[in-house]
Chain A
Amino acid sequence: MGNVRIKLIISYTILVIGALSMILPFIWMLLTSFMSNSQIFSYPPEIVPEPFLWQNYPEIANKIPLFRYFLNSMIVSIATVIGQVATCSMAAYAFARLNFKHKNILFFVFLGTMMIPPQVNIVPLFFLMRELHWIDTYWALIVPGIFGGFGIFLLRQWFLSFPKELEDAARIDGCNPFMTFWHIALPLAMPAIVTLGIFSFITSWNSFMWPLIVTNSDVMKTLPVGLAAFKGSFRETTEWAQLMAASVISVIPVIIVFILGQKYFIKGIMLGALKE
């Protein structure tokens, strides 16, 4: 009994220390967002903001159109998530359960799209956007972000790890593949779909290079691009306090998405469905 106790304590300690190291940069970001620019890099380093500048936050809204950037990021990220989930889940199901010509090759094509470094696609993709007249519009920000092999791969693995009984039952009952997908597979895939949603949201939310390239006007910029205005060309000219404050604001929706998503990780839903 004592052994188990000790093991528990050790594992708990490790977990806590690990968790602390995970949180450290985040806490630094939070603390510096309340500091003055001169205090941030003082020597010796100071931890407690003094003076405590609450006003850093409302001030940044005066300096940049924060709300607009936030809104744009929201629109783009949510649309991207919906698009990704919709297209990837269908495709993943097809790859996992259906059989069709060139299935493996096509899957590899999707997989292959992830192997090209995105930096190199920027240029031709930009030209494509120009042809479609999508530059400086939501279309350019949303649509290219929807397609990629990640979601298909993730969901395919998920669908594969399922026992087939339920779907077989549905087929016997006369459901076509799409209906099976919609009524059976999709609900059961909730944890994976939520995972995809979370990642998709984060990737889209934090995306910097592409929105920088594809938006010109202030009114279309997303949050990371807008925040870059606080970054000068040298460290000295960067307005760190404001940058951190704005970063904190930009991180909040992501945390919310994550915490909300956690709810769908409950096993109970799953079990119930299987028992049926």
Chain B
Amino acid sequence: MSYAPSPAALARIDRTIAGYPERPAAILPVLHIIQEEAGFVSGEAARWVAARLGLEAVRVREVISFYTMFRTAPAGRHTLRVCRNLSCHLAGADDLLSFISQKLGIGPDETTSDGGITLVTAECLGNCDHAPCLQIDGVDHGPVSRDAAAALIEEIQAHGR
């Protein structure tokens, strides 16, 4: 079973590679494109990237393991990132995180049993004037109260998928 990106993703990937004088430089945007489509970067996909960029497989693994945004295993359909750095901590991020954790029934780096949501803690998301903040699938929310968090979660869950 070998990996191949969709034709649309492949077109984006090749366009991206063309934007750099050296192919390996495209590795971060290419990995993002692949993860956006598949939800994670599988071993197969990593080998595909290595071949496409002219890199040894071990170099791709180096990059994937260094940067925290890449996943090597399937995760939830939605990612809920909760910031716990200083400004958000001062605004009650600890409490927010426990509340969300309890509501979802999972801890950080875990996924709900229906595969819907993966909970992740994050360092500063650059949204400190709206602390405590969180990010759902890349969309910033803040300041997030317990009620607001509950509403956001219910909205995700209501849409099923």
Same complex: no
Q: Which residues of B contact A (CB under 8 A)?
A: none
